[in-house]
Amino acid sequence: MERSLVLIKPDAMQRGLAGTIISRLENLGLKLVAMKLLHPDKALAQRHYAIHKDKPFYDSLVNYISSAPLIVCVFEGKGAVEAIRKAMGATDPAKAEAGTIRGDFGLDIERNTIHGSDSAATAEEEIKLFFSPDEMFSY
């Protein structure tokens, strides 16, 4: 079984969309195996988005994701990363298809409601940033 990290971003939290987003992912047959409410500090946000460090939007992204609480989840299932990426839609909500999470709820390219790991290898590293092994459950 594959695992993927999901962040329900501050804009989704502020608009009360967390339950809807989690439900959409569970309805794909994915199992929620870890979850916590967290207000990340800038250091954690910088580690999470380190891959974008040299990009012009890096500082804005770090400031945004550390601006308010978010829900951090791990979902598990066959092809979890790909299933979540498809359900999220394009990074830019203006380009995301209707029926995807970002297409339905995203505000702009930064405030796009959700982050999901882009590969199984990335998921493994991202999960370690937010969860210890004893915080994830099999059932």
**Active site residues per annotation:** 115
CA distances for 19 relative to 11, 56, 119, angstroms: 13, 32, 24
* Type of residue numbered 25: L
Beta strands, E only, the chain: 2-8, 31-38, 70-77, 114-116
Cα–Cα distance for residue pair 71/7, rounded to 1 Å: 6
Burial of 138 (0-12, 13-18, 19+ CB in 10 A): exposed
Residue for token digits 């988005």?
A: 49
If one counts every other C-beta atom within 10 angstroms of the C-beta of residue 64, the result is 17
